[in-house]
Amino acid sequence: MPELDSSVKNVVNETIAPMGRSMIREFAEKFAKIPGLVKLTLGEPNFNVPEHVKDAAIESIKENESHYSDQKGFLSLREAVSGYLDKQFDLHYDPETEIIVTIGATEAIFDSLAAIINPGDKVIIPTPTFALYIPIVKVLGGIPVQVDTTADGFVMTGKHLEAVIKEEGPDKVKAMMLNFPGNPTGVVYSKEQLQEIIDVVKDKNMYVISDEIYAELTYSHKHLSLAKLMPGKTILINGLSKSHAMTGYRIGYIAGPKDFVEQANKMHAFTVTAPSNPAQFAAQEALTNGIDDPIAMKKVYQERRDFLVDQLNDLGYETILPEGAFYTFSKIPAKYNLTSIEFANKLANEALVGVTPGIAFGKGGEGYFRISYAASMEDIQLAMKRLRKFTESL
């Protein structure tokens, strides 16, 4: 086993070196080592990929589809993405020039931010939210501006956004990250709430990167994309991981104006060249012949959601009803006098239930914990029995 030579121990990227790992992954891996623990940490659907989607990947291998695809992804897949966005969300993108197929939504986020920000530029990030936005901005030399939205029901209001931009300096704010349906809160923005954001940013020199990976998982009404209302300044992020349980296939995509896509595609080309062929053919099948596949999954998620929210509120963990995604985000009672990390560790070690501490989702998440109900109902029911006993002991 090679040992790092002493002469290069200090040769390190000074931006990355002090960063910790993703706290979501850190806690998931730590808790997974506890025997008998019920794992409700990762947003990992417990469904299998639909058979016809798997068959498409297998067929592509048999047909020797083993050579480089276009850097933006096979045109046939980009056409499928374009058709899907048109049919499902009334969004219109040219597959030739306005769509890039990426290695999951995470790469799409990285490429999009890389195309926008220069060192010292600021990116507004409403929290609690997906944990990776903050370190990606830092890696690129930008400054993440975390905004606590807990007082507004986990929604970034127009009034709050205007105040933040004014405080940080309109000339320095180049983008805002928007994630809805929200991870970890399940919050969905209404047309009126989206319009508030548009009214603020429409005359500012800034983009909104709208991460809508959970767009197929809304429960009370059909998803409305920000890109429908503000196509010229919205960078749309989506993918197949959540809608079709294809997390391991790593297929996401960027959709946006041509001039922006040209810039984002440079970073895409520099880092990954092109996505995997079998995964692309699977995604193409999912977006053409599998548009209705998420419906059955969503019905099951909703049953789990309703059970969980009732249980959590009954036990004194204040929980809003998630309108999308597959997470609950619950408040830790102040009387316990525990940070979110302390609560998660105590719950895992004493009750054998694994959850993610709220602080993993930014400053606005402290005092909360996230449960992923992408797990089976059996595991969720067992976890609630254990949580009830644990709560009584507290």
Query: In the chain, where are the structural domains located?
Result: 6-48+293-393, 66-289
Structurally, what CATH architecture does the domain formed by 6-48+293-393 represent?
A: Alpha-Beta Complex (3.90)
Contact residues for 392 (Cβ-Cβ < 8 A; gap 6+): none
Rounded Cα distance, 221 and 180, in Å:
13
Distance of CA 82 to the CA centre of its chain: 21
Q: Is residue 192 within 8 Å of residue 229, measured between CB atoms?
A: no
Is 103 strand, coil or helix? strand
Q: Determine the pLDDT at residue 184.
A: 98
Task: Collect contacts of 226-232 with beta carbons under 8 A, ≥24 apart.
Answer: 226/178, 226/189, 226/194, 226/197, 226/198, 227/89, 227/91, 227/255, 227/256, 228/89, 228/90, 228/91, 229/191, 229/194, 229/195, 229/198, 230/198, 230/201, 230/202, 231/91, 231/257, 232/257
Could you give the C-alpha distances from 380 to 220, 282, 285, in angstroms and in order? 22, 30, 32
Residue 318 host element (H or E):
none
pLDDT score of 19: 84
Q: What is the pLDDT of residue 27?
A: 85
- Give which of 183, 175, 181, 209 is closest to 131, Cα–Cα: 183
Looking at residue 4, its pLDDT comes to 93
Same fold, 6-48+293-393 and 66-289: no
The answer to pTM > 0.85 is yes
Q: Block means of pLDDT (10 residues each) for the chain, length 394 residues? A: 91 88 87 94 95 98 96 98 98 98 98 97 98 96 98 98 97 98 98 98 97 97 97 98 97 98 97 96 98 97 98 98 98 97 97 97 97 98 98 93
CA distance 185 to 188: 9
Position 16 scores a pLDDT of 87
Question: 3-class DSSP state for residue 312?
Answer: helix
At 266 the pLDDT is 97
Single-letter amino acid, residue 193: Q
Residue 77: both structure tokens together: 């897949």
Cα–Cα distance, 203 to 352 (Å, whole number): 51
What pLDDT, on the 0 to 100 scale, is given for residue 285?
98
pLDDT on residue 394: 87
Q: Are residues 94 and 258 in contact, defined by beta-carbon separation less than 8 angstroms?
A: yes
Structural fold of domain 66-289: Aspartate Aminotransferase; domain 2 (3.40.640)
Q: Can you give the pLDDT at residue 32?
A: 87
Alpha-helical (H) ranges within the chain are 23-32, 51-62, 75-89, 104-114, 133-139, 158-168, 191-201, 226-229, 258-271, 277-289, 293-314, 340-351, 377-393
Residue 320 CB burial class (10 angstroms; 0-12, 13-18, ≥19): middle
Question: d(Cα 53, Cα 291) in Å, to the nearest integer?
Answer: 11
Number of alpha helices (DSSP H) and beta strands (DSSP E) in the chain = 13, 12
